[in-house]
Amino acid sequence: MKKINYTDIVYGKIRIDTPVVEEIIQSEYFQRLKDVNQGGYLPLWKKLCNMEIDSFEYSRFTHSVGVYTLLKKYKVPIEEQLYGLIHDLSHTSFSHCIDYVMKEGSQKKHDYQDNSFHAYVNQTNIPEILEKYGYSTKKILDETNFSIAEKDLPDLCADRVDYSLREGLIYKEITEEEKNSILYNLEVINNDWVFKDFDVAKKYSKMFSNLNNKYYSGIKSASMFAVVSDCLKYALKHNYISIDDFYTTDTKLISKLEPFVEKDSHFKKLWERMHGHFSVKQDLNSRRIFCKSRVVDPLVLDDKEIKRFSDIETNWKKIVEKEIEPREYFLSILDTKEF
């Protein structure tokens, strides 16, 4: 089996040498995550953010291996490492755009992937690999067994720590030195992520809030979700694509859509919007779009006592109360010749 080695933006040199992990990563179902963008539809997202973003660094593949690496780094039991590795396996092409396409998803919760996780994984060869090495698929697919890897907002978990550090570096919200300081000052105590230093916890919490306001729940995301979902819903309705196509890759889904651009004038308009040919204004009489909002309130060691960050930084309580609620937008999408 070919060894897995690459340089990761967060953890540096990644070398996978655990057989069960190697086999899962080499599976076709895990490999497809290399071409599933973490943020949505990457060509549009780069235009909206006005920056170059490396597709591999910002893929579900690197994030998933990153969560596994983080859990291994902190010596979390192997079963939880395996859950962290496969936790995003059921993400569809364009990631959370699916929550704006399918009625089973929720704009406020971004939970289509969570709702389909068990059914999807059980139709792959991942259970066979797990059982081969003596692990219980039923246990590993149950996130309630793994509170270090997965926790509800505003708590920290390995998933949240990895994607925030990864995107903090990509969007230049933190430096390499600050990222290293955050990892150095985190430890796992009684299945909770805890900061050893208050100032580092403060820096991390504010960085996470910046990511949320600019990207996760900002108007850029709302605009992308609106125009991408319009195009995909239309394509589904007219049988240009099927639900199964979402479980391929971003590139394959786009190639399935391309032949219809010149055959359908309305679809061409939606396609052009999806590629940046639109402007947006907020208008209370226009369509309503929600974005899941994210905020953290980490645990901190304060004179050997574990406290909430907001118990020490009391003004953070109001920020948590505000940012935990989904963002609501009323968007009017206007056609333009170029973005």
Q: What is the pLDDT of residue 2?
A: 66
Q: What is the pLDDT of residue 336?
A: 84
Residue among 143, 147, 167 at smallest CA distance from 158: 147
The three state secondary structure string of 198-226 is HHHHHHHHHHHHHHHHHHHCCHHHHHHHH
Residue among 127, 91, 93 at smallest CA distance from 110: 91
Q: What is the pLDDT of residue 338?
A: 54
3-class secondary structure, 47: helix
The backbone torsions φ and ψ at residue 193, rounded to the nearest 5 degrees and listed phi first, read -80, 125
Q: In what order do the strands lie in the sheet with 305-308?
A: 186-189, 192-195, 299-302, 305-308
Q: What is the pLDDT of residue 286?
A: 93
CA angle (51, 55, 56) in 5-degree steps: 135
Domain ranges of the chain: 4-218+293-323
Q: What is the pLDDT of residue 42?
A: 98
With a cut of 50, list the residues of the chain below it in pLDDT. 339
Task: Specify the CATH number of the domain 4-218+293-323.
Answer: 1.10.3210.10
